[in-house]
Amino acid sequence: MSPAALTPAQLVLWTGQHLAPNSPQYHCIFTFELRGQLDIDRFRAAYGALTAECDNMRTVFRTHDGEPRQEVLPTALVELAVTPWPGSREALEGEIAARGQELFNLDTACVDAVLWQLAENHHVFFLNQHHLIVDAWGVSVQYRRLVEIYAGERGAGATPSDQLPSFQTYRERLPSEPVSLPEYWDRAVDPVPPRLLGRGNAGGTSIAPRISLTLDADRTKALLALAERDGIRHWTRGMTLFNIFGTLLTAYVHKISGERAIAFGTPAGNRGTAEERRLPAQLIEMLPLYGSVAAGDTFLDLLGRLKTSGNDFLRSARPGVIRPRLSASFNVVLNYITAEFGALSPTISCRTRWRSPGHADPGHHLRLQVHDLDATGRLTLEFDLNEAVFPAADRDKVADQFLRLLDAMTSHPNRAIDNIDILGKAERQRLLAAGQGKNVAERPASVLAAFRLQADRTPDAIAIESPDRQLTYRELDEESGRLAAFLRGRLREAGKNVALLLPRSADLLIGILGCWKAGHAYLPLPTDSPDARLEHILGETGCALILTDQERYPRVEAFAIPTVLFDADRPAILRHDPTVGIHQPGDAPAYIMYTSGSTGTPKGVVVGHASLANYIAYARRRYVTTAAPVFPLFTTVGFDLTVTSLFTPLVCGGRVIVYPEPAPGTPDLAVLRVLDDDRCDVVKLTPSHLALLRGRDYRHARISTLIVGGEQLSTDLAREVTANFPVGAELINEYGPTEATVGCIEKSFSPANDRSGAVPIGRPIDNTEALLLDEGGQLVPDGMAGELYLGGSCLAHGYYRRPDLTASRFVDHPYRSDDRLYRTGDRARRNDRGELEFLGRNDRQTKWRGYRIELEEVEHLLAAQPGIATAAVELVDPTAWSQAPVDHYCTNCGLPANYPSASFDEEGVCQLCRGFEAYESKAKAYFRTLDDFRAIFAERPSQHGTEYDCIMLLSGGKDSTYALGQLVELGLKPLAFTLDNGYISEQALDNVRRVASDLGVDVHFGSTPAMNEIFVDSLYRHCNVCNGCFKTIYTLSTQVALEKNIPYIVTGLSRGQFFETRLTEELFWEDRHAEGSIDAAILEARKMYHRADDAVRKLLDTSAFETDDVFERVRFLDFYRYTDATLDEMYAYLDRRLPWVRPTDTGRSTNCLINQVGIYVHKKEKGYNNYAFPYSWDVRIGHKQRDAALEEINEEVDTEAVQKIMGEIGYHHPGENYDRRQLVAYYTGGEDLTPDALRQRLQRHLPDYSIPQLFLPLQDMPLTASGKIDRSALAALGGRPATENVAYEAPDGEIEELLANIWRDVLHLERVGRHDQFIDLGGHSLTAIRLSARIGDAFALEVPLHRVFELPTIALQGEYLEETLTRLLAETEGEI
């Protein structure tokens, strides 16, 4: 047999093996343990006969010109070796495992078999075959045939019909063309492969240990009972069990990944016919089966959907459907094996085992095999678990967890999946314990009590120091006592809220302590609060009193709330006795802190004294390493981050140093002063503050501890900054929403462990709890992302006067009644070291066209690129921007400001006009005179047998009608060609008929039944109808010209249209003898145009354009290249000479009714009228008035008429439900990086759907008052249509040119850009193989196949080749 191509199913395996040449992942290893009196010679002969019958067992795979081929060797390769096994049965297991991993040389043999003789009546037959030649069903076919031959039935000398069919004969009958993708798999949106246990990548390892379990009798019984139930029972028991295990697997994957849209791969058997069922070959194709888990779904819900989906799957499956995109769309596999084996003979029993080679395809993170090979009635489940995704500790849990689901399903198929705990009691206890901070009973009742204790201990130590005054502990205690006594005079009852509108000062602290002593909660109002915020807060809280000073009094005067002025009322305050009736706060509210919240309405968080005391006691134990530590007060009191610095020093004899606020409107750079003064031991700050310290040298500073809170801390920043601080100084990352009192999870930054991304947030502090729950409120397994819930002493009381909000965010503890948990809305996971990692806000994780996108993940990766200073990624609607009213039109040509990349100079003139000024004179050389036109016909007169000189494309509009008239005046005999597209206006048609008959010209009306389909295609492809219509006209008129042997087709395109469609600026750059090369370039463009794959090419006969010959036989002439008639001249001629009437029935100057559909769609999709650009050219070259152009492009379309036509042609405009948003990356810095360079860098880490479509560099990142990125400002910036920056870019340099040639050849393309993606261009494994071989040849270098996939563009491959070549060159030089 001559070498043959591989089937698509084989090719996938061959490629997989090629990518992992040393992995035994595709070994199909079976052992048959035979007990009984075996006739060895007979068995050996039977095996020989089997290999003679099975051409697959004699098939080998060899590469020819880089492409794999299969061929069948004429004779059996190896005789069955029979070897005595002297060792123990256990030792044989080791031998089996080792032998099963021995790699095949695919070009010599794909089978390895041996018969071990353990005892006279005990044999083990080992049969290992490469998956390329057989699948599990195929092995069972081989075995059963072996049984027949051994028994002497239909054995030697069997008739051909008894023999097994030949795979190669079967293969030859398979369609050689690629099979089109059935609708089931042809979805725009595939579910994303889930991250199992938070791990999305196997890192290339194929090692996948197998966990096996056989269901016990009870479970088997329960399962079979379930399978018999109505509504569950399906075609066959196998099919029913497949559905049940598919349901369980989908539910399990949901439980360990959190995903809801889940696909698993499962083999399409492709054995529908009797012949196929007897083929001992590899026929399966692993294809995705789609399922989903909605909130509240029961097992039965899931099963019902899977059943329908499975029907669709099986219905659609057929050989050749498989393709790389599908193979890559799942990482979980269910293999339900129905093949059966059984005894060798009535006297020889057989135990069949399918052995794991210990490896599996690296893309398969979890595979579940279910089988009952020897029909024992008990099912065996085998899990192959990729070692990188399931490390040993997690691997051990899989079987138990899966069985818990199985038991839940068999006992309660109607139970909601969300409510099922798969972890089990022990694991649940372990996770609960891991989420629990240390239990520390000993703590002060309140910060106030602790302060007073400290004041007794160190009365003369300085407690607070500010530029104008300093107070000892005794003075602070006394002054706050006097204030409390004074307040008692004003507010009879305790338990009120007192607003503090005071700058950072000693008074502020006196005020807080005074409030507490009088039994009130304080409510800090930052001095820079906007009026609206003050109004909202004071209005909502009904503050009993405002404590402020004279300077700030006017801001609160209007609220009619009693006010104490610290400065003016001081003499009165000081008259009070500091010691009487100090309130014992208990767990009364200590403060109310207002946070903005994502909804925008500020909400007041009420924090009690006990929570505050717990935090401050922890901060003292954990953060303070020196006696009498000094803390700076330099951040706003309206932010609970500042609480650490305000109170921690006061409970341990330390000191607060006040850094006053800057003048309003100036930046607060106090952090620099704090560090430069070098008087503090502990500094609490935000990562933004930390970024300000970049590049400054504090290695000899006093500081011992930096506590970072408020935002994500990147490891890069942490590393950079710690290097600039003293050795031994600790950088602590603290996490905590206001609702959980300042900080409740923390960890010390470790440069050794915390290497990439963000610094983990660590572990819960003393007496607090941090749990990760899934959407069903169940604990998630370690490693998997979940929502972070907080509990214990850290919890705030709730939101001030917002009981509904409080109830929705502070929820019942799922495992302990009476306890509450705060639902943070943050996503986190626990890493291998037991630390929590913050993954982002729940609401920053978005779904976009079915894909789950972690905006923060993209942001971090972008920010980590060299040179990028800040980055933000948002989903925004780019059309919102383009739909905004246009505020400017080019003052010269009328180009609107929302035309992509339009820019204007200070005179309001667009860059196109300015550019044209530079080449206008050169462009003039392109135009000719009517004499030249006449000369063309004189030079090349009509051929004999032709009655026409040319075809004139006549639309009935003024341009083409005028041109037709002129042709007749020139003495030519044209044939008019008019396309009746079904929507041409009646008046235009009348014009055509009238004018033609007046001129004595014949008219050919072209039409096609495919017109509507072409319109629809054009609308989807170009957002207009004209492209499709024009191409139809050119195609049909060329057919007429060829038929009638007419040498020329004359168009009536305007000069504006020339520039719009073909006369690009570049053509005039060089002073080449412009004419020849421009015409050649235009002709080339025309060839490409006709060969582009679209509806016209599909639906009309375009075979004529396949060869260049047609462009020689029929030439196109643009009439307006040869005349410069003005608008007035044209109208004058038409009015005087021809019976032409200006159309009125289209409501515009065009003569086609469907045109407005194009305009409508274009405006909707791109924001601007599709005529804006061609008209700007008409104006620019003086063929149209700017005002007339503007009037036309701003005319309203008749929406009703448009909808009606859309219905007629069958175009569905993506409606309101269509997600128009695009992923836009905003960034500062990175001037050296183009958007394409950024895109490529992200492509190394992220799936395509996570890569921003648009990269917008900004001068400055907009920030909110608290220093965070202002996302609403970014949304207002919007984006622009993504097509702009994915433009074609020509290959650059010799290497890329060479590469581009190879790509074009291999992919059969005319043009390939340097950033075009291999897969997008239709690349698949076979082309990748050819590509890698061809590149290898061209550069005399080994280019591994996987590189083609890893470096999917010419630019990336070029870079790789250049580096490799340079390195090789350097090495060679070194050798010399």
∠ CA 202-208-212, rounded to 5°: 140
CB closer to other proteins, 88 vs 273: 273
Write the DSSP assignment of 444-460 as a string of letters: -S-HHHHHHHHHHHSTT
Alpha carbon 1166 to its chain's center? 24
Beta strands in 459-571 (DSSP E): 462-465, 470-472, 497-500, 521-524, 545-548, 563-565
| CB 271 to other proteins: min, Å | 6
Assigned token pair, 844: 């920053």
∠ CA 655-657-659, rounded to 5°: 165
| CB 242 to other proteins: min, Å | 9
CB closer to other proteins, 50 vs 317: 317
CB closer to other proteins, 160 vs 571: 160
| CB 273 to other proteins: min, Å | 8
| CB 55 to other proteins: min, Å | 22
∠ CA 1097-1101-1103, rounded to 5°: 85
CB closer to other proteins, 162 vs 1297: 162
CB closer to other proteins, 162 vs 1208: 162
Q: Return the bridge partners of 138, or none.
A: none
Which residue type sits at 1078? I
Give me the half-sphere count of Cα atoms (radius 13 Å) on the Cβ side of residue 684. Answer: 32
Query: Residue 953: enclosing H or E segment and its boundaries?
Result: strand 950-953
CB closer to other proteins, 235 vs 1069: 235
| CB 369 to other proteins: min, Å | 18
DSSP H helical segments within 1055-1185, as ranges? 1055-1061, 1074-1091, 1095-1099, 1109-1113, 1127-1137, 1155-1166, 1172-1180
Cβ burial, residue 627 (10 Å; 0-12/13-18/19+): exposed
Which strands make up the sheet holding 470-472, listed edge to edge?
Answer: 470-472, 462-465, 655-658, 630-633
Contact status, residue 307 vs residue 260, Cβ threshold 8 Å: no
Q: Classify 416 as helix, strand or coil.
A: strand
Task: Please report how the helices 1172-1180 and 911-924 are oriented relative to each other, as an axis angle in degrees rounded to 10.
Answer: 50
CB closer to other proteins, 271 vs 1184: 271
Query: Residue 246: enclosing H or E segment and its boundaries?
Result: helix 237-257
CB closer to other proteins, 152 vs 272: 272
Query: Residue 792: enclosing H or E segment and its boundaries?
Result: strand 786-792
| CB 248 to other proteins: min, Å | 19
CB closer to other proteins, 239 vs 1067: 239
CB closer to other proteins, 243 vs 966: 243
- Compute CA distances 1284 → 102, 1130, 1243, 1253, whole Å: 53, 37, 19, 10
∠ CA 306-311-313, rounded to 5°: 90
| CB 180 to other proteins: min, Å | 16
Which residue type sits at 107? D
| CB 290 to other proteins: min, Å | 12
Phi and psi for 505 in degrees, rounded to 5?
Answer: -170, 170
| CB 159 to other proteins: min, Å | 16
Strand bridging mode 836-841 / 820-830: antiparallel
| CB 223 to other proteins: min, Å | 18
User: What's the longest Cα–Cα distance across the chain?
Assistant: 124
Name the nearest CA neighbour of 1007 among 1029, 1024, 988: 1029
Write the DSSP assignment of 11-36 as a string of letters: HHHHHHHHHSTT--TTEEEEEEEEES
CB closer to other proteins, 150 vs 290: 290
CB closer to other proteins, 318 vs 813: 318
CB closer to other proteins, 273 vs 584: 273
| CB 880 to other proteins: min, Å | 39
Q: Which residues contact 742 (CB under 8 A, 6 or more apart)?
A: 615, 619, 640, 641, 643, 644, 709, 734, 736
| CB 1120 to other proteins: min, Å | 53
Q: Which residues bind other proteins (CB under 8 A)?
A: 233-236, 238-239, 269, 271-274, 308-309, 311-312, 314-315
Q: Is the dihedral of CA 596, 600, 602, 608 positive or negative?
A: negative
Q: Go through the chain and tell me how many residues it has.
A: 1376
Q: Which residues contact 1320 (CB under 8 A, 6 or more apart)?
A: none
Contact status, residue 573 vs residue 482, Cβ threshold 8 Å: yes
CB closer to other proteins, 272 vs 581: 272
CB closer to other proteins, 243 vs 898: 243
| CB 300 to other proteins: min, Å | 14
CB closer to other proteins, 237 vs 575: 237
| CB 121 to other proteins: min, Å | 34
CB closer to other proteins, 59 vs 243: 243
Name the nearest CA neighbour of 543 among 562, 527, 528: 562
| CB 228 to other proteins: min, Å | 11
| CB 319 to other proteins: min, Å | 12
Task: Give the 3-state DSSP-derived string for 1292-1346, with helices as H, strands as E and coil as C.
Answer: CHHHHHHHHHHHHHHHCCCCCCCCCCCCCCCCCHHHHHHHHHHHHHHHCCCCCHH
| CB 379 to other proteins: min, Å | 18
Alpha carbon 70 to its chain's center? 39
Name the nearest CA neighbour of 538 among 607, 609, 595, 594: 594
CB closer to other proteins, 371 vs 830: 371
| CB 268 to other proteins: min, Å | 9
